[in-house]
Amino acid sequence: MDFELDDDHRALQHELRNFAEKEVAPGAEERDHAGRVSDELKTKLAEMGLFGITIPEEYGGAGMGCVASSIVVEEISRACAGTGVLISAHNSLCVEPILLFGSDEQKQKYLPKLASGEWIGCLALTEAGSGTDMGAAVCRAEQKNGGWEINGNKIFITNGGDASLVVVLALTDPEVKKSRRLSFFIVEVDTPGLTIGKLEKKLGIRCSTTAEHIFENCCVPEQNLLGTRGKGTSQALATLDGGRIGISAQALGIAQACLDESARYANTREQFGQTLGRFQAIQHKLADMAVGIAASRELVYRAAWLKDTGGDFSYTGAMAKLFASETSSKCANHAVQIFGGYGYCEDYPAERLLRDAKITEIYEGTSEAQRMVIARGVLAAAEANWESVV
């Protein structure tokens, strides 16, 4: 079994690591306080081709797959988790559904702008009364005057304050069974009737904008229906399956940053006449972090490889999301403990890493939801003599 990255992926990883260390990491604390990614950094990310990493070359992208995208998100998140999710949400939650379900006309119209970074994309899924239970959505799209009129509110939209394009999940057929009530729409953010509302003040990933979108008689053309009417639920689930790999890569990057910072500190901080790294209690924490990260990395890149090769990645992606996110939080807690009192202060990175890590257990499917997906896979496999899991 070959678990090595190929030459192209190794080159991408090397290039991204150098870029992240030079251009992303130095401003992480400043971005955390400012609550935004600067236009200057967005331009640099665009020039690196990171907003089009999975978009085919015919639309101006790099034409690479999920393994490449995971490398991008891990390396950028290692330097700044908020910047990492800016890229992840753009690619997995906006670009991906257009690639999967969009018409040729929609792809030609929108993908070049998304690939170049001229436009940043987002997904409007969550409402006040519908999160994990997306079928409870009440944001409504009705056919009027040869198009669609959208009314309702969406919240917790990652990239919602930066985006020029939003994919919206809306109720189109309230009288049919729950699984056929919803549809996807492409909406340009400057469309009349769409207003960016509240920007959330968050515990972590503060430079990633998390916004409310308010739709009031927001009219879009008939051709902005994305995919098939009534298939929004299945389309959203397919989108989130891929998105979870992106968040698992973000969690992996955060966890790696925790280990890197902790090891450096343990090698320089002295107590009782020796460095912290000489104490067995500290060594055990570092060892536990390293093992969790190594296991997470295998899950993340196996899920990405399955997606790239056309395999069933939903089960493995859920495992990657669950394990990597919980590993990230454990590593962040260990990092704060290793830094001691300094770990609780903003002068050192441990407290930011702790704040950033927690969200990976919540968004794009909570840990509880991932356990449900995994358990269903295990139970289904038991009926098939485990063939669907191995």
DSSP state of 311: -
Q: How far apart are CA 189 and CA 185, in angstroms?
A: 12
- Residue labelled with tokens 């509302």: 197
> What does the block give as tokens for 141?
């799209």
Q: How far apart are CA 257 and CA 269, in angstroms?
A: 18
H or E element at residue 212: strand 210-221
Cα 76–chain centre separation: 12
Which amino acid is residue 390, in one-letter code?
V
38: Cβ contacts below 8 Å, ≥ 6 apart = 27, 31
Q: What angle do CA 258, 350, 44 make, to 5 degrees?
A: 75
H or E element at residue 354: helix 350-358
Q: Confirm if 167 and 123 have CB atoms less than 8 A apart.
A: yes
Whether 30 is catalytic = no
Question: What distances in angstroms separate CA 196 from CA 32, 155, 158, 210, one per listed residue?
Answer: 21, 10, 12, 10
196, β-bridge pairs = 213
Given the residues 212, 364, 368, 387, the one annotated as active site: 364
- Residues with active-site annotation: 364
